[in-house]
């Protein structure tokens, strides 16, 4: 039986994931505590809205797509204390709360790191500095798409891709919320209709088209694997795709590591 092997949330857009034993899925389809903060460029500091929903296009701030060196930073977010710490290879870079002074310290430290990295020229572009840390640390609002969604992929799909390139490829490159074991490679891309994961029933929305973020090694921050052309050339995809997006049916709930995954007929039989 397919089951959940790993769960992740990403408190700060584009930075270190938190590996979790359980995730709370809100009724709106967003993970509680996921993408609650983001580092925006100076010329994009105001909140944006599309179709009545908060929206954070990744081109408006720091994201792995354009700043792969972010992968070298290890970020810890204490949601209760509303405090962030960032380290580089185990050495402290900055630690602060998200009051006005703390946000400035965090932005200055992260900007200084990026400016000194191989991505520095991108950050020096017009209108990008000074950075602004946005978000209240509680509200999940900085997903790539207005609707949010829960993201999922099968570990066998990643293993197939790992076998096709020389650089190491693991689940972290794809920044999904839910990783599933017990599927064949690419099997999840064929799902449609409803899927039950633990106590939550979802509907499958669409597959996930991938960007340059997946080329970045999650340990070194270097673009060491050309996964986009590998997906199209080696696996015959029309566009580079890995994983799917889900929305809960009616209400959200808790998803836990080890939860069984029921698809289609198996879901109906279990009800």
**What pLDDT, on a 0 to 100 scale, did the predictor assign at position 268?**
43
**What pLDDT, on a 0 to 100 scale, did the predictor assign at position 267?**
56
- 214 close to 227: Cβ distance less than 8 angstroms: yes
Omega of the bond leading into 139 within 30 degrees of 0 (cis): no
**What pLDDT, on a 0 to 100 scale, did the predictor assign at position 54?**
65
**What pLDDT, on a 0 to 100 scale, did the predictor assign at position 259?**
98
H or E stretch including 231?
helix 227-233
**Within the chain, which residues score under 70 in pLDDT?**
45-55, 265-271
- 143 close to 35: Cβ distance less than 8 angstroms: yes
- 229 close to 237: Cβ distance less than 8 angstroms: no
**What pLDDT, on a 0 to 100 scale, did the predictor assign at position 194?**
96
**What pLDDT, on a 0 to 100 scale, did the predictor assign at position 47?**
59
Question: How many angstroms separate the Cα of 162 from the Cα of each of 21, 26, 118, 152, 214?
Answer: 25, 33, 25, 18, 12
């Amino acid at each position: 039986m397919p089951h959940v092997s790993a769960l992740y949330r990403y408190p700060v857009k584009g930075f270190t994931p938190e590996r979790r034993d359980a995730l709370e899925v809100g009724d709106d389809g967003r993970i509680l505590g996921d993408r609650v903060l983001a580092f925006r460029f100076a010329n994009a500091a105001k909140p944006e809205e599309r179709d009545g929903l908060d929206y954070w296009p990744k081109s408006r701030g720091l994201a792995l797509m354009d700043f792969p060196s972010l992968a070298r930073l290890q970020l810890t977010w204490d949601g209760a204390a509303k405090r962030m710490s960032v380290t580089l290879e185990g050495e402290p870079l900055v630690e602060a709360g998200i009051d006005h002074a703390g946000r400035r310290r965090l932005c200055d430290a992260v900007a200084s790191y990026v400016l000194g990295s191989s991505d520095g020229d991108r950050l020096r572009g017009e209108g990008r500095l000074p950075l602004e840390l946005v978000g209240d640390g509680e509200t999940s609002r900085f997903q790539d798409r207005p609707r949010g969604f829960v993201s999922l992929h099968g570990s066998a799909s990643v293993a197939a891709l790992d076998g096709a390139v020389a650089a190491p490829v693991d689940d972290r490159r794809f920044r999904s919320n839910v990783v599933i074991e017990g599927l064949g490679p690419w099997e999840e891309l064929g799902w449609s209709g409803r899927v039950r994961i633990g106590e939550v029933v979802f509907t499958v929305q669409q597959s996930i088209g991938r960007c340059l973020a997946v080329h970045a090694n999650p340990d070194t921050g270097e673009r060491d694997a050309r996964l986009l052309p590998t997906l199209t050339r080696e696996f015959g995809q029309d566009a580079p795709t890995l994983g799917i997006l889900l929305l809960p049916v009616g209400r959200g709930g808790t998803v836990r590591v080890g939860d069984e995954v029921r698809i289609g007929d198996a879901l109906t039989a279990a009800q």
